[in-house]
Structure 1
Amino acid sequence: MSKPIYVLNGPNLNLLGVREPEIYGYDTLADIESRCRTRLTGTGTDLVFRQSNHEGELIDWIHEARESACALIINPAGYGHTSVALLDALKALSIPVIECHLSNPQTREPFRHHSYVSLAAKGIIAGFGPIGYELAVQAVLAMLKA
């Protein structure tokens, strides 16, 4: 079996479905994980799907992904706008990195318009809600196939 795709989720995403549903929708993180797993059915690729409200834990998982993952999808949430440490960890990866956001940060408050994570990402998927994660999985599969 090939290495799994890591999907890492930042702070407050454990509250999906109840936190600002007018922005983030009603799907829970478990719903999104299930959709990603379904998208991988029959591909021979597995998924490691995690969420943390702690920057250091996310960094530890990024370090783990260096050896254990074939690609990384990350929704850094608020850390995308603040964390040089996440950027530095991501820059150490030689695998594809996709940044994923449920909403479109460019249409929101000005402080959300900049993402440190984007500097290390092969691509960015934003504004498509939970389907964005499935699009990110599809993009990773296409990159790995190419």
Structure 2
Amino acid sequence: MLKGVIVNGPNLNMLGKRNKDHYGSLTLADINHLITEAYPAIQFSFYQSNHEGQLIDFLQGLEGIDFIVMNPGGLAHYSVALRDAFELVHAKKAIVHLSDIEQRESFRHIDLFKEISDVYYKGLKAYSYIFAIKELLEKHLQSSNV
């Protein structure tokens, strides 16, 4: 069974209360449920923290996974330390954003993680996760058939 990890950064625990135009109306629990329903054959673990250091520690401790999907939230724009920890993960990697960060405030246009991810989705709200997982699975199959 494939093992996937979904990691969410600061303020994503407040989904459902945040600006619905940017983030949609689903809570983080709703998104996690959507993911497990869409991909029942995958063993998922979910992690969310509002603390940069805890996210770094979590990433550094990951072993035995096939892929990771991370929404770093606002840390995407400035956290070199979290980027470095993400880069060290030995698995296929995706970065997702619920909103289209390039269509928002100028300080959100920079994403330090984009160039080190295998898959990147933004602006599709909860479906950013679904499509990222789909593409990661396709890449996993391609690398298995090589």
Q: Is the shorter-chain TM-score for this pair beyond 0.5, marking a shared fold? A: yes
Structure 1 segment 79-98 matched on structure 2, within 5 A: 79-98=75-94
Bigger mean CA offset, 99-108 vs 17-26: 17-26
Question: By how many angstroms is 1:93 displaced?
Answer: 2.1
Q: Which residue of 2 aligns with 1:63?
A: 60
Is residue 119–residue 136 contact of structure 2 (8 Å, CA) maintained in 1?
no
1:14 equivalent in alignment to 2:10? no
TM-score (norm 1): 0.92
Distance in 2 of aligned mates of 1:143 and 1:39 = 18
Q: Is the 8 A contact 1:86 1:117 kept in 2?
A: no
Gaps of 5+ in 1: none
Give the alignment of 1:1-146 within 5 angstroms: 1-2=1-2, 4-41=3-40, 43=41, 45-65=42-62, 67-146=63-142
Q: Distance in 1 between matches of 2:46 and 2:89?
A: 18
Aligned CA-pair RMSD = 1.1
4+ residue runs of structure 1 moved beyond 2 angstroms?
none
Gaps of 5+ in 2: none
8 Å CA contact 2:60–2:85 kept in 1: the answer is yes
1:68 partner SS? coil
Q: Which amino acid aligns with 2:11?
A: N
Q: How many residues align?
A: 142
